[in-house]
Amino acid sequence: MALLEVRDLHTAFTTPAGTVNAVNGVSFNLERGKVLGIVGESGSGKSVTAYSIMQILEKNGKIVSGSVKIDGQELVGAGEKVMKTVRGNKISIIFQDPMTSLNPTYTVGHQLTEAILLHTNRNKKQAYDRAVEMLRLVNINEPHKRMKQYPYEFSGGMRQRIMIAMALACEPDILIADEPTTALDVTIQAQILELMKSLQEELGMAIIMITHDLGVVAQMCDEVIVMYAGSICEQGTADEIFYNPRHEYTKGLMHSIPTVNNDDEKLEPISGTPIDLLNMPKGCPFAPRCDAAMKICLRERCQRMEINEDHAAACWMNVKEQMEQEEGGEEA
Amino acid sequence: MSNMENLVEVKNLKEYFNITTGMFQSKPLKAVDDVSFAIRKGETLGLVGESGCGKTTVGRTILHLYKPTAGEIWFKGKKIETKADIMEYRKKSAMVFQDPYSSLNPRMTVSDIIGEPLDIHKMYADKAERQEKILELMNRVGLNSEHASRYAHEFSGGQRQRIGIARALATSPEFVVCDEPVSALDVSIQAQVINMFDELQDQMDLTYLFIAHDLLVVRHISDRIAVMYLGKMVELADAKEIYDHPLHPYSKSLMSAVPVPDPKIARANQRVVLTGDIPSPLNAPSGCPFRTRCPYACDACAEAMPELKEVSPGHFVACHRVAEIN
């Protein structure tokens, strides 16, 4: 049994302009000790997927249907009481912006021990010791002194370390990292990613890494999910996604980023602009921007299709290819 | 005396900001401290560094948006000094800003935003010519002429950046400073805008100073790259050379920190992870500013800032120990 099982998750937001279906039928499994990357552009539903798992959606957002199971325990519809025992203990989250996710009016020590007291049975003294231990774990020097300081006395990279320390203090099975390094400089980003990787190996937890940066994915992730307009267009192991992309959107993404090998070539951008979630087309959501779009792409959405045991994609091109192969096989 | 091949030259540029530190006290923040470089005609010079290193300040000071504290700026072999010089220089230079959401006036129509530089420099005879010029610019950056009477909020991020670029090109400048022009855009849109910068450079014979923190983007678009750290320029070389063979210890760690979108390369990459954070520019270390994080720092580094020296043709490095550590 997988640690986390998400099945056919639908999340919608009610807005004055209409209902926005931010997540449309997302399914995946996360095994213990693995790093799963979720990539996509703004509005692709990658963060909403994570917030739905944690059930920390804004007031106007709601899980419409689907199932989220952790260790076999169903979370959708389980109620706030159950979720309080899950958050922090089983799943923790770190957010993009380390500048605003700490409370500026409390010391870092207060905020760390508060989280530990809330989620474990430790007393104040034990919680303090645990907090100091966690600061040490994320390589913050002089932890006893640092416990008494306020967030403004820390740099951006250090604040993100504190967020990581807080998220890991109760030894969760899953850490969700929502664009954890986007607000940081490259050398600090390298420090934080290195730290997350080593902690993940040490503590054996699973990580869901949400990012738009394919470089971060290549460095960190075992498995990758590519999202577009609220649905998964492709999922598989990192090597499969990078070296054998089988969805036109993933291919487009790979061609549109500068790498070390293509600097003399022109980039091949994806034409058009990201989709308006209020006016979703009937067929494949990527079809209006897709150069290879066929008639069927505009009419009907392609179902997920297994490419091999490590790889699945939802693109009619694969169906077409398969049919051509079969025809070719019959003739021969 | 100046080399005519260089379109823009910066000599010993300093830009200090006074920061209030107490009721009657203030302290200079040395955002740019003694930087000299030249940009050749028709090239793209990439300027990289982390937040607070002074790269944006260089971009703004070079256009005289900030009055330089000290130092000289030369354009086409002429020193920019008087007000008239600056006005003339501004006609020949332009800037594209980072944030396409806040750099466009929400109360102006697209045609007025693009037409404003034309108004300021009185570059048209009558209204019809103005309109014609605006439509030509919109066409050039891939905007539909029907959009001329709309407002900025009606456009997506990528289209807004196109409006910003059209505005920058209105006076047919020769020199454009691009300050993080693609970092606010989604990946698929980034490539569209980067390609457009390339095409416009060919069509209009432009020279760019391209400021960005995304090293792969900078490497893709630039001919040469300069690296800054805490207000100083530490290395300057050809784009590929500096990426493949960085010589300064800071550039080394910066280049190795770039997340490469290729799992096999990323796994094999031996990173030089720096410890610690960037010191505050208000309390910059003496001598070489990088010495507090540098694995090779010695006593000499604390005493004097090393000069930017040419160690191989076209490759400039500011490090006392560059010969020993490479």
Q: Which residues of B touch A160 (CB under 8 A)?
A: none
Q: For residue B154, with 0-12 CB atoms within 10 Å meaning exposed, 13-18 middle and 19 or more buried, which class applies?
A: exposed
Torsion sign across C-alpha atoms B234, B239, B244, B245 = negative
Give chain A's end-to-end CA distance (angstroms, integer).
Answer: 43
B175-209 per-position pLDDT tens digit:
999 999 998 888 888 999 999 999 999 999 999 99
B256-287 per-position pLDDT tens digit:
888 889 999 888 877 888 877 788 888 888 99
> So what's the pLDDT on residue A158?
87
* Interchain CB distance below 8 Å, B198 and A266: yes
Select the residue of A157, A257, A270 nearest B261 (Cβ to Cβ): A257
* Interchain CB distance below 8 Å, B219 and A252: no
Which two tokens mark B258?
Answer: 């770039």
Select the residue of B243, B269, B277 nearest A158 (Cβ to Cβ): B277
Q: Is B67 helix (H, G, I), strand (E, B) or coil?
A: coil
Question: Angle, nearest 10°, between helix axes B157-169 and B110-120?
Answer: 20
Pairing of strands A231-237, A61-70: unpaired
How far is CA A200 from each of CA A191, A194, B87, B272, B276, rounded to the nearest angstrom?
Answer: 14, 10, 57, 20, 22
Which helix (H) or strand (E) segment holds residue A19: the answer is: strand A18-30
Q: Provide residues of B within 8 Å CB-CB of chain A.
A: 50-51, 156, 158-159, 186-192, 194-195, 198, 213, 215-217, 219-220, 239-240, 243, 253-254, 256-267, 269, 271, 273-275, 277-278
Select the residue of A216, A258, A289 nearest B216 (Cβ to Cβ): A258
> So what's the pLDDT on residue B223?
95
| Whether residue A265 has pLDDT greater than 80 | no
Measured between CB atoms, does A324 come within 8 Å of chain B? no
Which two tokens mark B251?
Answer: 């550039």
B109-130 per-position pLDDT tens digit:
999 999 999 999 999 999 999 9
**Which phi-psi region, left, alpha or beta, contains residue B82 (left: φ > 0; alpha: ψ -120 to 50)?**
beta
A77-100 per-position pLDDT tens digit:
999 999 988 998 899 999 887 778
CA atoms within 13 A on the CB side of A198: 9
Q: Which residues of A touch B248 (CB under 8 A)?
A: none
Which residues does A227 contact at the CB level (< 8 Å), separation at least 6? A26, A38, A39, A40, A44, A45, A46, A49, A233
Task: Give the mutation candidate from A154, A185, A195, A213 for the B interface (greatest B CB count, under 10 A).
Answer: A185
B77-113 per-position pLDDT tens digit:
999 999 999 999 999 999 999 888 889 999 999 999 9
8 A C-beta contact, residue A228 and residue A23:
no
What is the C-alpha to C-alpha distance for residues B255 and B323, in angstroms, rounded to an integer? 19
Residues 79-138 of A with CB under 8 A from B: none
CA atoms within 13 A on the CB side of B209: 29
